[in-house]
């Protein structure tokens, strides 16, 4: 199993190009099951979760053709359509559940495994199932599989999500594209990745519009047209590199990302002392000599502070001049990185969903272990500013969501190598 060896402290400087968004690519790829005609998707990130989704589509009968060193993929139908999404493919990522909606919408049947992914919390699939049931899907769960079907096409209806859910919003939007009549979805998640999915579907002729901030209207159509679409840049990768520059007194130019999509994070980084200039699809960021603390940082649904950057900001606040507090409102197991950060010298106390971080930490290198995707990258950030050598085990989590992270970091001045 691969591990990283990082010798610190290092300073981040130079220029980095942001890869395509994993969290936008996965629902867009799942939605290609709705199409009869070929689809070309550009700016595809080369990460493990995307490979898994492409393997899942292949197992369902899609033909996958790579162009331009795997950054572009052409997906089209074969005659061998299948409806079984196996546990062996779905077990490593939550997004596997996103094939359920399109399979039932297009073919009126599906057997989909209950999903896997990071062990950061319950993330129940009942929001997906309840919404799809309202559209006309019948289902039962047997031996870890959702056996789903519908009598003819799904039927448009009004759905109000009891809790804001990114995945359930995506699954419902995809399924409603081919349903009969009008679907209104209320209390939707409005992450940029969802807007990217909507833009992709609209580029193929889907009739979707936002009628209020969290309300989406979809009028079903018979079929989607062929389309070519470029996936947005990765918001969490961008935020991670912004934190890295701030943490290391660095000087970084970030290309290929629209800064307007992370306004909350940019404002927080300015608050801790970073100097930031934004342009069209680029961010210039300089880290401060002294990092200021944040008395209270709360994770909430977009456009608020994202749970996927909580671990990275925690590392930043370990180096702040005073005490900070993070309240995690999205996932109940999202502090799994804390024990490993303590091994490097962090002073963090966790009680329920609150973490209190004492600042002025002098990180010292040690051997540590990743527990999930975002925790892994937080440990990398801590190792970059730690004195001495840090060995990070189980970095396969990182490969699920960050494209060529060690190559990008090396070019920015980090002493990092992968040990197989």
In the structure, what pLDDT confidence band is assigned to residue 116 with cuts at 50, 70 and 90? low
In this structure, the answer to whether residues 328 and 215 fall within a common structural domain is no
Domain end marker among 204, 230, 256: 230
The 10s digit of each residue's pLDDT in 151-197 is 999 999 999 999 999 999 999 999 999 999 999 999 999 999 999 99
Average pLDDT over residues 341-347: 98
Domain span holding position 184: 22-230
In this structure, the answer to whether residues 325 and 384 fall within a common structural domain is yes
Please list, in sequence order, all residues whose beta carbon lies within 8 angstroms of the beta carbon of residue 15, skipping any fewer than 6 positions away.
252, 253, 254, 255
In this structure, the answer to whether residues 224 and 79 fall within a common structural domain is yes
In this structure, the answer to whether residues 176 and 30 fall within a common structural domain is yes
In this structure, the answer to whether residues 298 and 405 fall within a common structural domain is yes
Q: Is the pLDDT of residue 117 over 60?
A: no
In this structure, the answer to whether residues 240 and 198 fall within a common structural domain is no
In this structure, the answer to whether residues 204 and 320 fall within a common structural domain is no
In this structure, the answer to whether residues 260 and 387 fall within a common structural domain is yes
In total, how many domains does the chain have? 2
In this structure, the answer to whether residues 237 and 225 fall within a common structural domain is no
Q: Determine the pLDDT at residue 121.
A: 45
In this structure, the answer to whether residues 65 and 114 fall within a common structural domain is yes
> Which one of 10, 118, 177, 242 is the catalytic residue?
118
Q: Determine the pLDDT at residue 85.
A: 94
Contact 175, 6 (CB under 8 A): no
Domain end marker among 189, 204, 230: 230
Domain end marker among 214, 230, 246: 230
CA distances from 142 to 113, 148, 399 (A): 10, 11, 32
Residue 118 annotated to the active site: yes
In this structure, the answer to whether residues 197 and 240 fall within a common structural domain is no
CATH of the domain at 283: 3.65.10.10
In this structure, the answer to whether residues 197 and 242 fall within a common structural domain is no
Q: Determine the pLDDT at residue 333.
A: 72
d(CA 198, CA 28): 9
Whole-number mean pLDDT of the chain? 95
Contact 390, 383 (CB under 8 A): yes
The 10s digit of each residue's pLDDT in 260-272 is 999 999 999 999 9
């Amino acid at each position: 199993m691969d591990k990283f060896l990082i010798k610190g402290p290092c300073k981040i400087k130079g220029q980095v190009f942001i890869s395509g968004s994993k969290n936008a690519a996965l629902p867009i790829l799942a939605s290609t099951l709705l199409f009869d005609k070929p689809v070309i998707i550009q700016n595809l990130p080369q990460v493990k979760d995307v490979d898994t989704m492409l393997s899942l589509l292949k197992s369902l009968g899609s033909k996958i053709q790579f162009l331009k060193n795997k950054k572009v993929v052409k997906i089209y139908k074969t005659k061998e359509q299948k409806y079984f999404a196996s546990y062996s493919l779905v077990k490593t990522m939550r997004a596997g559940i996103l094939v359920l909606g399109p399979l039932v919408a297009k073919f009126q049947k599906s057997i989909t495994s209950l999903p896997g992914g990071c062990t950061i919390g319950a993330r129940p699939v009942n929001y997906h199932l309840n919404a799809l049931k309202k559209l006309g899907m019948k289902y039962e769960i047997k031996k870890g599989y959702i056996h789903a079907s519908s009598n003819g096409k799904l039927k448009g209806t009004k759905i109000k999500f009891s809790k804001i859910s990114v995945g359930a919003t995506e699954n419902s939007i995809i399924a409603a594209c081919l349903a009969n009549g009008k679907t209104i979805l209320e209390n939707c998640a409005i992450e940029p990745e969802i807007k990217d999915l909507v833009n992709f579907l609209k580029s193929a002729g889907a009739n979707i519009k936002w009628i209020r901030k969290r309300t989406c209207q979809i009028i079903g159509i018979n079929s989607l047209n062929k389309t070519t679409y470029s996936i947005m840049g990765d918001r969490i990768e961008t935020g991670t590199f912004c934190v890295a520059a701030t943490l290391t007194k660095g000087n970084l130019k970030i290309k290929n990302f629209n800064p307007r999509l992370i306004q909350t994070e940019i404002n927080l980084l300015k608050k801790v002392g970073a100097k930031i200039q934004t342009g069209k699809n680029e961010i210039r960021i300089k880290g401060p000599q002294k990092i200021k603390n944040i008395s209270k940082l709360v994770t909430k649904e977009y456009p608020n502070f994202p749970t996927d950057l909580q671990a990275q900001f925690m590392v930043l606040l370990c180096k702040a001049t005073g005490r900070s507090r993070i309240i995690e409102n999205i996932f109940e197991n999202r502090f799994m990185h804390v024990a490993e950060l303590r091994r490097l010298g962090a002073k963090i106390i966790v009680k329920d969903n609150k973490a209190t971080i004492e600042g002025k930490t002098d990180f010292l290198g040690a051997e540590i272990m990743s527990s999930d995707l975002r925790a892994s990258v937080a440990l990398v950030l801590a190792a970059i500013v730690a004195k001495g050598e840090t060995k990070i085990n189980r970095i396969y989590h990182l490969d699920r969501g960050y494209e060529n992270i060690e190559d990008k970091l090396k070019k920015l001045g980090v002493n990092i190598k992968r040990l197989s």
